[in-house]
Structure 1
Amino acid sequence: MNSTLGRTATFTFGVISYLVFLAAFSLSIAFVANLPWAPARLDGEPLLVPGWALAVDFALLVAVGLVYWASRGVTQNGRVLLVSLAVLALLVLWQPLSGEAWRLQSPALRQVLAAAFGFGGALLLYGVLLSDQLAAGGLHAAARRLFGLADEGSDEAREEWRRQRGDALSLGVLLLAWATPELSVTHLVLALLASLGVYLVRRRVLDGQPQEGAKQPEASHPRRPVLVASRKAGAPIDPVRAA
């Protein structure tokens, strides 16, 4: 859609997608922190029989994972909207479970963990915004097309943004998972799953990078074009070089 109307529609859809994302993001922070204005509590007094509550929560987590996996083929704006809607559905339908793993009483430690939790949320938001900036179908690219701005950033800068995005997302998820003075059994399980996910993603990224000091393959027969050109030109061929 190269027309002005098409670019405007794409930009508007991107704005709507990210407004829904910001709502899902802020409610998710409240959900993990068990704030009173969250649509549901991560843990607390069960509303269902524990077995049924566990089954519902597990199904919701699987559904969000399936939406995230199935949306890989759509644009960045579309993927943000689909995943955000799936997260909102999880927050509304989540069934709390009881059981406490630990509780810190020290006010100083509680303040430190609260600051770390907030920092983790900021890092996660920064990583998501970098993901949009690097995506060709995101809100950032739609805005630049709408206003006729040229693409920004060299390949080196974009590679640095990718590295920053991975670091910010990984550290943000870990801080949100573990920086809490009150950890329930449900929160502990989710924190372990989040840590496992971060480990698997980082390992895959590191395995895909070339090893430092690895010898790059050399082009085979680099002098052959010169010899062919010499034959065409009728120049004498050095038998040693030809070998």
Structure 2
Amino acid sequence: MLLYSAVSYGIFLISVVYLIGFLGRLFVPKHIDDGVTLDWPLAALANIGLITLFAVQHSVMARKGFKARLTRLMPTAIERSTYVLISSLTLVLLFWLWRPITVSVWTVESPLARALITGVFWIGWAVVFVATLLISHFELFGLRQALDNLRGIAPQAQPFKTPALYKIVRHPLYLGFLIAFWATPDMTAGHLLFALAFTAYLFIGAHLEEKDLVALFGETYRRYQKEVGMVLPWRRKGQP
């Protein structure tokens, strides 16, 4: 089970690194504006279908009821790794079948502005990485569960905590993704479609996740909701 979790984690890392290159058009064989072209309505329909497939899989498998059914078929120690593995493979499928729509929406010509926007792109990914470390990176991606199982340690519920970035927004991971999706000096129609669709999904996914968190932490999480913004940083007037 530990080997299975390690392989799943490795595939996840590869898919995320490829996603960075896919959006940034960096060092990958096929990026967001590359590949077999179709007429733009067909390309848009195909791409929306791929994003919808990822969104449905990612959200349905994360729900408590689905997890309960899944653990009837496999050990609890690899349930999270299975979720991570299937999510990663669905993302790989998106990379493979994505159809570019290369109509330019904006192109930034200034070298300084391009460098600044590219810097913001990398800041977004840094926020994503830091956000996973601030909670429990290896538990989030399934390795800790398999390792604890190997050691004979019973699963333990994580206490509610709001370290660093989590005092600014409730979902800094999603904020980092939003920054990375939108920060580009060369926005094409295909990239815009990706950014719009995944932005909508992130907010829907955050709302679904919040229901689970309220059920888990109760009034503590409700107070947190009132004090800190969900994805975008804000505070209610009068809050410390």
Under a length normalisation based on structure 1, what TM-score does the superposition of the two structures give?
0.68
Structure 1 unaligned blocks of 5 or more: 1-9, 215-243
Of 170, 175, 180 in structure 1, the residue corresponding to residue 179 of structure 2 is 175
Deviations, residues 103-155 of structure 1 (Å, cap 9, x unaligned): 111222222221221121132234456465455x8212322343466878972
CA spacing shift, 1:201–1:192, aligned 2, 3 Å: same
Q: Which residue of 2 aligns with 1:223?
A: none
Is 2:123 aligned against 1:111? no
Bigger Rg over Cα: 1
Is 2:236 aligned against 1:210? no
Q: Which residue of 1 aligns with 2:19?
A: 28
Deviations, residues 56-104 of structure 1 (Å, cap 9, x unaligned): 2122112212221342324110000000001111101111112111111
Is 2:188 aligned against 1:184? yes
CA spacing shift, 1:96–1:171, aligned 2, 3 Å: same
Q: Which has the higher contact order (CA 8 A, sep 6+)?
A: 2
Q: Which residue of 2 aligns with 1:228?
A: none
Cα RMSD for the two superposed structures: 3.3
CA contact (8 A) 1:39 1:91 kept: no
Of 49, 53, 68 in structure 1, the residue corresponding to residue 58 of structure 2 is 68
Q: CA deviation at 1:159?
A: 2.5
Q: CA deviation at 1:39?
A: 4.0
Following superposition of structure 1 onto structure 2, how do residues 45-64 of structure 1 map, counting pairs within 5 Å? 47-64=37-54
CA spacing shift, 1:54–1:194, aligned 2, 3 Å: closer
CA distance in 1, matches of 2:23, 2:15: 12
Structure 2 unaligned blocks of 5 or more: 71-78, 215-220, 227-240
Give the partner amino acid of 1:169: L
CA contact (8 A) 1:45 1:97 kept: no
Of 11, 14, 17 in structure 1, the residue corresponding to residue 8 of structure 2 is 17
CA distance in 2, matches of 1:140, 1:54: 39
Following superposition of structure 1 onto structure 2, how do residues 34-49 of structure 1 map, counting pairs within 5 Å? 34-35=25-26, 37-43=27-33, 47-49=37-39
CA spacing shift, 1:71–1:110, aligned 2, 3 Å: same
Misfit runs of 4+, over 6 Å: 149-154
CA spacing shift, 1:17–1:127, aligned 2, 3 Å: farther
CA spacing shift, 1:189–1:95, aligned 2, 3 Å: closer
CA spacing shift, 1:79–1:166, aligned 2, 3 Å: farther
CA distance in 1, matches of 2:116, 2:59: 35
